[in-house]
Amino acid sequence: MVSAHQLDGAVVAVVGASGALGSLIARGAASRGALVLSVGRDAERLAAVVGGAEVVVGDLGDATLGERVAERALAVHGRLDGVVNAAGVVAFGTLSETDDAVIEELFLTNVIGPLFLARGALPALRESAGFLVNLSAVVAERPMAGMAAYSASKAALTAADRALARELRRAGVDVVDVRPPHTETGLATRSLAGEPPRLPQGLEPSVVAEAVLDAVEAGRTEVAADSFG
């Protein structure tokens, strides 16, 4: 059975904490009383997200990142109650136009890295009966032409989350898969390749950040795209 996880007093690592969405999740968690570890690649930007928060510098593609996050949390706070992964990359274009390196980067950052992260953090999360959140996307439910590799990477992440939710149930670790529609984070303008299609106005990132934190505190395992209205 999925448990509600109160953020007040919880030790929560936010990966991608210097990004448009990750920073809002980190600040929102802190405003709800969480002790935040800001995780990402740029130490200076991470330090500015939540004043006084612990900073862990690393790349999601590094197989040791999850272990290092857990080690820092245990060393400073004595436990790790949750991990929220808000990092990700996108690419546009037909598959025939997509370079090998772009496909590899999509899967390294959107699938393989999150699996590395979860594996490394799991021993600490088992100890705390904690939670793991991954930011997937609407394309996991409704894949789009011109975004085949990206859609596949997000569908793979959602599949992994669903499997992990069952795998970790007896251990008391909850896994939350969040699949927001297009959100105005600016990610589409920083794609690995290609030009984005014409997209409707997206959600405000603050809406998605609050949905993530609400899902953790309500004990939800999935936040589907339709949940955002």
Backbone angles phi, psi at 23, to 5 degrees: -65, -40
Q: For residue 79, what are the contacts with CB-CB under 8 A and spacing of at least 6?
A: 11, 73, 124, 127, 128
150 is catalytic: yes
**Distance, CA of 129 to CA of 170 (rounded, Å):** 10
Residue 3 within any structural domain of the chain: no
Model pLDDT, residue 3: 77
**Distance, CA of 49 to CA of 36 (rounded, Å):** 10
DSSP 128: H
Residue 224 within any structural domain of the chain: yes
Residue 136 within any structural domain of the chain: yes
Model pLDDT, residue 198: 84
Cβ neighbourhood burial of 173 (10 Å; 0-12, 13-18, 19+): buried
Model pLDDT, residue 2: 66
Q: Across the beta sheet with 174-178, what order do the strands follow?
A: 54-57, 35-40, 11-15, 82-85, 131-135, 174-178, 222-223
Residue 118 within any structural domain of the chain: yes
Residue 142 within any structural domain of the chain: yes
Token digits for 225?
């795209």
Residue 19 within any structural domain of the chain: yes
Give the count of domains, the chain. 1
Catalytic residue among 92, 107, 131, 150: 150
- Boundaries of domain holding 143: 11-228
**Element spanning 223, H or E:** strand 222-223
The CATH number of residue 97's host domain is 3.40.50.720
- pLDDT tens-place values along the chain, 229 residues long: 567 999 999 999 999 999 999 999 999 999 999 999 999 999 999 999 999 999 999 999 999 999 999 999 999 999 999 999 999 999 999 999 999 999 999 999 999 999 999 999 999 999 999 999 999 999 999 999 999 999 999 999 999 999 999 999 999 999 999 999 999 999 999 999 999 888 888 999 999 999 999 999 999 999 999 999 7
Residue 30 within any structural domain of the chain: yes
Number of H helices, E strands in the chain: 7, 7
Model pLDDT, residue 1: 53
Residue 1 within any structural domain of the chain: no
